[in-house]
Amino acid sequence: MPCGSASAGQLSVHLRSRGLDDGALTVAPAGLTRPIPSVPVMVFTALHYLTVHLSFLPRLACSSAVSRSPQTLMTPCSTWNRLHAPMRRRGHPLRPGPGGNEAHGCAGSVAGMPDIPTPAQESVLRSFAAAVRESPHNLVSKRARTELWERHVAESVAFAALLPRDVTLLDVGSGGGFPGFVIAVVRPDIDVTLLDSSTKKVRFLLDTAAALDVPVKVLHGRAEEIRAADGANRFSVVTARAVAPLPRLLGWTMPFLAPGGLLYAIKGASWESELEDASDELVHWGGEVAATPEDMPRDEQTPMVVVIRRGVAG
């Protein structure tokens, strides 16, 4: 829901989740005797009144908060500006996606960009998850099959919300389609290309994209081969999820980026040590660390992401 449109009903739901029902917030009419409420209840009563009667409070709250709903994932404005402002100054067409917009004080226009996923997109994603689950090709592990929607789809949607608008994107090592296929579904403004070396996975991605009418390109081959076949310096964004440690991943992905382009690498708990080990590769490509998981929203869905900007001379 956009900033400035918080409702009393939403606040009540928020409070009920913390064990406070609507009755505890009702102010007794004059002349009626009620027990004196506890301090926490009095505080929430005051907040409830202010939220209903002072419309500026929701806007103030939204201006600095990071939404925890998978429907309205927001990137902190300072992070988005730090990631993309240098590219915009050089005339690069990057604009903020759902993760950064003017309603939250961020630079750039996102007029017309809905929260993701929309109901139609969610329907496509559920069909995609069912196709992955039912595929005979072991596209994901047995454990992953049991948590496709709650973890892998949700994480990919949250990740998609961090990406800039109107870019050309290559997802390296797409596998069963996480996150690249999901990005193609929920971010139609992005020109998505998927890359994988597995024939069966590429066939699955092609067939599923055709069946679900998802506009995505799929390349079959190793990163080194595709790069050599006129794939270098073509993309403004490259993504990779659980493909390889950063030192190796940089060598596979950075050549695909145009100068100033961004690598979004989804990493695990070892991201700090991987960054240290990748120092030589960073120097080689003229790269710089644009953001780390410490700069990103942290909730149940948003993955840990390391963002590397390729140098102009890299």
End-to-end alpha carbon distance in the chain: 41
Give the Cβ contact number of residue 143 at 10 Å. Answer: 8
- 164 and 55 housed in the same domain: no
Residues 28 and 151 in one domain: no
Boundaries of domain holding 165: 77-309
Contact 192, 180 (CB under 8 A): yes
What's phi and psi for 19, nearest 5 deg?
A: 90, 10
82 lies in the same domain as 203: yes
Around Cβ 233, how many Cβ atoms within 10 Å? 15
pTM (two decimals): 0.67
129 and 192 belong to one structural domain: yes
Q: Let me know whether 20 and 124 are in one domain.
A: no
Mark whether 98 and 57 lie in a shared domain.
Answer: no
Q: Tens-of-pLDDT digits for all 314 residues of the chain?
A: 444 334 333 333 333 333 334 333 333 333 333 444 455 445 444 544 444 344 333 332 332 233 333 333 333 344 444 454 444 443 333 444 554 432 222 322 233 456 899 999 999 999 999 999 999 988 888 888 888 998 899 999 999 999 999 999 999 999 999 999 999 999 999 999 999 999 999 999 999 999 999 999 999 999 988 876 777 789 999 999 989 999 999 999 999 999 999 999 999 999 999 999 999 999 999 999 999 999 877 777 889 999 999 987 65
In terms of DSSP bridges, do strands 257-267 and 217-220 run parallel, antiparallel, or are they unpaired? Answer: unpaired
2 domain residue, yes or no: no
**Co-location of 96 and 191 in the same domain:** yes
Can you read off the two tokens belonging to residue 238? 């490259």
38 and 131 both lie in a single domain: no
- Rounded Cα distance, 27 and 42, in Å: 9
Instruction: Encode pLDDT of 289-313 as tens digits.
Output: 999 999 877 777 889 999 999 987 6
Cα–Cα distance, 223 to 240 (Å, whole number): 12
Phi-psi region of 287 (alpha: psi -120 to 50; beta: other; left: phi over 0): beta
Report yes or no on 71 lying in a domain.
Answer: no
Please report, for the domain that includes residue 209, its CATH number: 3.40.50.150
